[in-house]
Amino acid sequence: MSRDIRAGEGEAVSQSADETDAAEYRPLLFSIAYGMTGSVGDAEDLVQDAFLGLTRARQAGTTIVDHKAYLATTVTRLGINHLRSARVRREMYVGNWLPEPVVMPDDDTGPAAHAELADSLSMAFLVLLESLSPVERAVFMLREVFGYGYPDVARSTGKSEANCRQIFTRARQRIAAGRVRGSAPPPARAQGEELARRFFDAAEGGDLDALLGMLAPDVVFLGDGGGKARAIGKPVAEPRRVGQLLVGGFRRFRILGLSLRPAWINGRPGVVTYDAEGRVASVIELDIADGVVHAIHSVTNPDKLAHLGPVSDVVRLPGT
């Protein structure tokens, strides 16, 4: 009897150690799931389902040598299935669709988690991914964003290597055709934050001329209210129109008593607006390249802000 108990305890300890080792991949898994869905809540659910699958596989006696590969494959395939079922809902969405914002830590905590998302899953990039089929999105993202080799992409998607190469080529061409500007890298964090500070100071102060000096000729503003909050229903282009829209919008913020907090959102600088009770009202992200703002993404849909909680909690990175 005692030997059986000790053996059981040994297996439990071993399984606990395995689970601890596997947990280190949670930031990567969240990033893959978020890149597939554009939803923080859905991404967290997919990651949880992947870990549940790992546990059930172990309980069934399956030996899993590579936890990272197993979990990444599971999350990718769950993401593909999720997108297939969500396609109709996306087509019926009211107004512009933007991903749920991920507000990054405002300090140097969680470097591994930060590295998975920074500079790779901006709102502009996730919007472009919407033009791809679920499988195309998975192949392109695993290859382009996470640097997976074709053997790993093939295993994760259930396709052959040759097919994955063809899918990636088509997806890359489609993404390139959808870009409104060159794929210049984002600025260094300090530079981006400084430009964002001047940008939002000008918007708050109603300084249209200063704003125009920071807007690219091809600038576009996209707002996502989902039919549940006030938002611009169609993209707004041309610097003066965008500048006037911003001046008017920030004047409305003052009337409503909203405050601003600088934030790093999806690897880009921006702000979180919130009311006197600390409830988040909107998240605004700036897509900056070559020293000017090329795109402004504003999310006011309350369903896409619920995961942030009160403004005091918005520095939390989901998946950590």
- CA 174, 177, 180: angle at the middle one, nearest 5? 135
Q: How do residues 12-48 score in pLDDT, each as one tens digit?
A: 434 444 555 677 889 899 999 999 999 999 999 999 9
Residues 170 and 106 in one domain: yes
Question: What is the mean pLDDT of the segment spanning 221-243?
Answer: 94
* Residues whose CB is less than 8 angstroms from the CB of residue 317 and which lie 6 or more positions away in sequence, other chains included: 27, 102, 103, 104, 105, 110, 113, 114, 117
- Domain of residue 60: give its range: 2-178
Residue 13 lies in a domain: yes
Q: How do residues 212-225 score in pLDDT, each as one tens digit?
A: 999 999 999 999 99
Handedness of CA 66, 71, 72, 77 (dihedral sign): positive
Residues 123 and 239 in one domain: no
Residues 78 and 112 in one domain: yes
Residues 131 and 206 in one domain: no
Residue where a domain terminates, one of 147, 178, 209: 178
Distance in angstroms (rounded) separating the CA atoms of residues 296 and 288: 9
pTM, full prediction? 0.85
Provide the number of structural domains found in the chain.
2
Residues 6 and 144 in one domain: yes
Residue 82 lies in a domain: yes
CATH of residue 39: 1.20.140.160
Residues 274 and 250 in one domain: yes
